[in-house]
Amino acid sequence: MTAPSSLEDLRADIARAVDAVRASTPLVPSITNAITMDFVANAQLAAGGSAAMVYLAEEAAALAAAGGAFYVNLGALLPIHRDAIPAAARACRDLGRAWVLDPVGMGIGSLRAEVLAELRECQPTVVRGNASEIIALASAWGATSTPDGACGVRGVDSTDPVSAAEGAARALARQTGGAVAVSGAEDLITDGRRVVRVAGGSPLMSRVTGFGCSLGGVTAVYAAVAEPLVAAATAAAHYAAAGTVAAAQAAGPASFKVAFIDALFNLSAAEVAANPLTLEEVE
Binding site for its own copies (CB under 8 A): 27, 29, 33-39, 41-42, 45-46, 50-56, 58-59, 62-63, 66-67, 75-80, 105, 108-111, 154-157, 207-210, 250-255, 257-266
Task: Name the DSSP letter for residue 34.
Answer: T
CB of 250 to its own copies, least distance (A): 8
Of 180, 66, 94, 93, nearest to 133 (Cα)?
Answer: 180
DSSP string, 116-137: HHHHGGG--SEEEEEHHHHHHH
Nearer to its own copies, 168 or 261 (CB): 261
User: Measured between alpha carbons, how far is 69 from 155 in angstroms, rounded to an integer?
Assistant: 28
CB of 253 to its own copies, least distance (A): 5
CB of 51 to its own copies, least distance (A): 6
Nearer to its own copies, 114 or 121 (CB): 114
User: Measured between alpha carbons, how far is 215 from 8 in angstroms, rounded to an integer?
Assistant: 23
Task: Name the DSSP letter for residue 238.
Answer: H
Nearer to its own copies, 137 or 264 (CB): 264
Q: How many CB atoms lie within 10 A of CB 90?
A: 18
Of 85, 58, 48, nearest to 70 (Cα)?
Answer: 85
CB of 265 to its own copies, least distance (A): 4
Nearer to its own copies, 196 or 247 (CB): 247
**Cα–Cα distance list, 62 to 67, 70, 91 (Å):** 9, 11, 9
CB of 77 to its own copies, least distance (A): 6
User: Measured between alpha carbons, how far is 263 from 2 in angstroms, rounded to an integer?
Assistant: 29
Side chain identity, residue 23 = A
List the beta bridge partners of residue 196. 189, 279
Nearer to its own copies, 58 or 121 (CB): 58
Sign of CA dihedral 205, 209, 213, 217: negative
CB of 103 to its own copies, least distance (A): 14
Nearer to its own copies, 63 or 127 (CB): 63
Nearer to its own copies, 115 or 277 (CB): 115
CB of 114 to its own copies, least distance (A): 12
Task: Name the DSSP letter for residue 26.
Answer: -
CB of 2 to its own copies, least distance (A): 30
**Cα–Cα distance list, 41 to 32, 63, 168, 205, 282 (Å):** 10, 15, 29, 17, 35
Three-state DSSP class for 241?
helix
**Cα Rg of the chain, angstroms:** 17
Nearer to its own copies, 178 or 210 (CB): 210
